[in-house]
Amino acid sequence: MKTLNNILITGGTGFIGGHLIEHLVDRGYRITVLSRSSPITHAKHTQVCFVSSLDGLPETNWYGVINLAGEPLDKSRWTANQKALIIESRLSITSRVNDWIRKLPVPPKVYISGSAIGWYGHWDNECLDEESAHREGFSHQLCNAWETQANQLADVDCRICTTRLGIVLGANGGSLPAMLLPAKLGLGGPIGHGDQWWSWIHVNDTVRCFEMLLDNDLAEGVFNLTAPTPVTQSEFAKTLGHQLKRPSFMPLPGFMAKLMLGEFAEEVLLNGQRVFPKKLMSSGFTFDYANLSSALQDLLCQSQKLRSRLAL
């Protein structure tokens, strides 16, 4: 059992946060979640507590902080007001967490802040790692503002790690469940031209990455949280169709995606980045699901089990 094991998590009620809580509890951590609600799945867990404010939290014995909170990107169309809300939701909670950390008599050993590979902007076939440059666009604007806010704590004596997440695949959240129905109907073909790169990661590897960043005293700076085998969107659709034993040649034209989803489609679905986890690999991290076929096989099996439980 860890002697200093208290972790504060913001955004812990979301898809990634939920998996992360379960994983860290299994590893002996005690979790405090900053949230407006207490999900039933965690409410009775003795190693997890929920608070609605940072006020009144203990001032000592914090091992780490993981800041993932922010307005979902796909909640509604990206109007000017919605984009401002998406940015402000991340900056405001990060600012409050920063202020809270500064007031602690002893800062946490590690501060992990969320971000995404959207920081790099739109690219074609170029291979990107943590040292690569960026291109302008809303995705970069959002991620860069979030990372800059977190790094305001650079003068505090704690490690700061920034996690640039790729497309996180899970059986009960993320983008995969929405893809399954059309794919099962044989309509899961490529979106747009299909040549855009999708840098993905299995949710189990995602939470293991967070654990490594917590435990590795040498881990600091930006880390790409993506599998080492990015694929084009066409290859993704083909692999998913193969796992489901369904055809995957029916494309969704780019203009249709834009009509349905607006700028979100342009920024997230119709463009991409070919990103590699150079720093994770050099830190000795090994992926349980390094290729897309094995990841989808596992997640589709999990999805079937979830449906079976719901049918009981």
Top mean-pLDDT range of 42-51, 154-163, 244-253: 154-163
What pLDDT is attached to residue 159? 97
Query: Is 169 within 8 Å of 203 (Cβ atoms)?
Result: yes
At residue 294's C-alpha, the angle toward residues 202 and 286, to 5°, is 60
* CA distances from residue 143 to 26, 87, 114, 140, 186 in whole angstroms, order as listed: 30, 9, 9, 5, 35
Q: Indicate the range of 63-67, 85-89, 193-197 predicted with least confidence.
A: 193-197
Query: Is 27 within 8 Å of 50 (Cβ atoms)?
Result: no
Looking at the chain, the whole-number percentage of residues with pLDDT higher than 90 is: 71
CB burial of residue 23 (10 Å; 0-12, 13-18, 19+): middle
Tracing tokens 């006020």 back to the chain, one arrives at 55
Domains and their CATH numbers in the chain: 6-311 (3.40.50.720)
Separation between Cα atoms, residue 76 and residue 87, nearest integer Å: 14
Query: Is 179 within 8 Å of 240 (Cβ atoms)?
Result: yes
Tokens of 133: 């440059």
More confident residue, 40 or 104: 104
> pLDDT tens, 205-243?
999 999 999 999 999 999 999 999 999 999 999 999 999
* 62 pLDDT above the threshold of 90: yes
Say which residues have a Cβ less than 8 Å from residue 49's Cβ, sequence separation at least 6.
31, 32, 33
Q: Indicate the range of 118-122, 207-211, 256-260, 286-290 predicted with least confidence.
A: 256-260
Separation between Cα atoms, residue 171 and residue 306, nearest integer Å: 8
**pLDDT-based confidence at 1, cuts 50/70/90?**
very low
What pLDDT is attached to residue 66? 98
- Of 187, 182, 157, 210, the residue nearest 18 (C-alpha): 210
| Alpha carbon 249 to its chain's center | 29
* 264 pLDDT above the threshold of 80: no
What pLDDT is attached to residue 310? 67
What pLDDT is attached to residue 73? 84
Tell me the mean pLDDT in the region 31-49: 74
Separation between Cα atoms, residue 103 and residue 59, nearest integer Å: 8
> pLDDT tens, 118-143?
999 999 899 999 999 999 999 999 99
3-state secondary structure 185-231: CCCCCCECCCCCEECEEEHHHHHHHHHHHHHCCCCCEEEEECCCCCE
More confident residue, 191 or 68: 68
Measured from the Cβ of residue 165, the count of other Cβ atoms closer than 10 Å reads 21
Tell me the mean pLDDT in the region 25-49: 79
Separation between Cα atoms, residue 194 and residue 110, nearest integer Å: 39
Measured from the Cβ of residue 56, the count of other Cβ atoms closer than 10 Å reads 6
